[in-house]
Amino acid sequence: MKTILRNLFYTLKRFRTASVLNLLGLSTAFAAFILIMMKVSYEYNFDAGKNLAIGLKKEKYIRLN
């Protein structure tokens, strides 16, 4: 484990520009993925509450009649 970490830090120090660009790209990709999944979840669940409310209203009307 010690050797792996030593090699990792050596590589990061030797190729600073490439390492920084890779880390920026990876963090941007993760952020974009999270934002897209939040939007998909919002769109997927958008009508769930409305359908429930409409269903409850219909049941109340049926019970009154």
Query: What is the reported pLDDT for 14?
Result: 94
Tell me the backbone φ, ψ of residue 53, rounded to 5 degrees. Answer: -65, -40
Taking the model in full, what pTM does it have?
0.60
Instruction: Look at residues 22, 24, 2, 1 and name the one whose alpha carbon lies nearest to residue 12.
Output: 22
User: Are the C-beta atoms of 19 and 11 separated by less than 8 Å?
Assistant: yes
Encode pLDDT of 26-47 as tens digits: 999 999 999 999 999 888 887 7
Residues 21, 23, 24, 28, Cα dihedral to 10°: 140
Provide the 8-state DSSP code for 15.
T
Euclidean distance between CA atoms 2 and 15, whole angstroms: 20
